[in-house]
Structure 1
């Protein structure tokens, strides 16, 4: 139990700005194994945001509360995944060869493509969260868990492209089906919260996205990097919210299972 807790806290410290216990042991092997808790980290961070939204919604109008929630989410994660999305957009938008794309992605400067991708992603969340305000306390933890599981599956199913100074290298080596299985187990509660029709559509949409995105990465650069994992998380998060908004727009059921 202590070993597994160590792995979870290691994943939490890697993907968020939350402090962890001093006794947590870091090693490349431990960080490699910690990806089994990507989705659990999503549940944890999403739960914090849900509690925060309950309080914010009591203090402010819904649009202001949603904006404050977005700020809180960026503070909690340190803009970790958004940074990956922006770097990926700069790399694929400005590079013509594999070497150019990898070099640009590692450049800390933000370019036009990255700025555009980041602005669109943040605006999308603001708009979609505002539309989904009635269900936000349920949807944020679900989406955080499911989008991070999608990135974890990509990591397991796609070869790693080594880039100088990459922080994702320890996560990319010697991945096993055990990590994917544990992430899958941690997203199973989603089927108890969401209506089965919505769950089915989400699974289909994310599976299509994962297949297309994986093929695109292999064709462009030969596999994934840490930035493309962040891009996968951000894009899949927006896809999930878009699907739910479509269900709301057509008066289809959102919650199901024991909440139905």
Structure 2
């Protein structure tokens, strides 16, 4: 039990900047076990974003509220996944041979393509948050923000699935190599956590005219199909995935799922 609690705390320490005043020895075993808690971490991040969005939209106009909400989102994760997105963009969009792509991704300096992709990505995320907050204010339904809380759950679940489903591109180096022991059991348990937390969100307050089960199924299906397509493309370029690409997958899926939320509230 203590080992699993340590793994849970490790997941929060690794994926967020929430204050966890516990010293943890990050062994390969701890990293592997921590993966099952990734959707739970996403759930907590989502709840914090939902509460922040409700408060900000209450006291501020929609545009500054959306900017500040996006800022909070980045602060909560310390920009960890954005860094992975930029490194991945620099590597993949260099159109170099595989080995050179991997070397570019290891470089601590950010290139032009990384900056361009990051800016475009944040602009898209801002526009989607703006649309969601605007709809929430216009309809007087703060409960619409429940859908925002679900987004980080599934983007982080897919990170676990990707670790298991695609080979690691740097077998003997990189932080991602610590996750090599993640197996089908970890993925299945993390999926159960994702389903339970999503069900808790949507069954507590369903702000749409759609049945709760269809919303849960929509998030799961979109995550699997879109995430699978992106991961397969990246893997075809790099011969596998890396720690940076796990972060990139998380960021890209968050935007895709936010876009899905905008579609859902329009139904």
Same fold (TM over 0.5): yes
What is the count of residue pairs matched by the alignment? 249
Change beyond 3 A, Cα 1:27–1:164: closer
| Match of residue 222 from structure 1 | 239
| Match of residue 239 from structure 1 | 256
Give the TM-score taking structure 1 as reference length. Answer: 0.88
| Match of residue 248 from structure 1 | 265
2:173 corresponds to 1:186: no
Which of 38-47 and 161-170 deviates more?
161-170
| Match of residue 82 from structure 2 | 82
Which of 211-220 and 112-121 deviates more?
211-220
CA offsets 1:180-213 (integer angstroms, 9 cap, x no match): 1121111113246164344333333322223322
Which of 112-121 and 192-201 deviates more?
192-201
2:15 corresponds to 1:15: yes
2:219 corresponds to 1:212: no
Change beyond 3 A, Cα 1:136–1:67: farther
Structure 2 matches for 1:16-55, cutoff 5 A? 16-55=16-55
CA distance in 1, matches of 2:60, 2:44: 24
Q: What's the CA shift for 1:40?
A: 0.7
Tell me the SS of whatever aligns to 2:175.
coil
One of 151, 166, 169 as aligned partner of 1:158: 166
CA distance in 1, matches of 2:40, 2:173: 27
Tell me the SS of whatever aligns to 2:109.
coil
| Match of residue 97 from structure 2 | 97
CA distance in 2, matches of 1:238, 1:64: 19
| Match of residue 169 from structure 1 | 177
One of 149, 156, 161 as aligned partner of 1:141: 149
Task: Tell me if the contact between 2:43 and 2:149 (Cα under 8 Å) persists in the aligned partners.
Answer: yes
Tell me the SS of whatever aligns to 1:132.
helix
Change beyond 3 A, Cα 1:53–1:211: closer
Tell me the SS of whatever aligns to 1:152.
helix
Unaligned runs of 5+ in 1: 253-260
2:209 corresponds to 1:202: no
Task: Tell me if the contact between 2:168 and 2:176 (Cα under 8 Å) persists in the aligned partners.
Answer: no
Tell me the SS of whatever aligns to 2:22.
coil
CA distance in 2, matches of 1:136, 1:129: 12
2:61 corresponds to 1:57: no
Give the TM-score taking structure 2 as reference length. Answer: 0.86
| Match of residue 140 from structure 2 | none
Tell me the SS of whatever aligns to 1:185.
helix
Q: CA RMSD in A?
A: 1.9
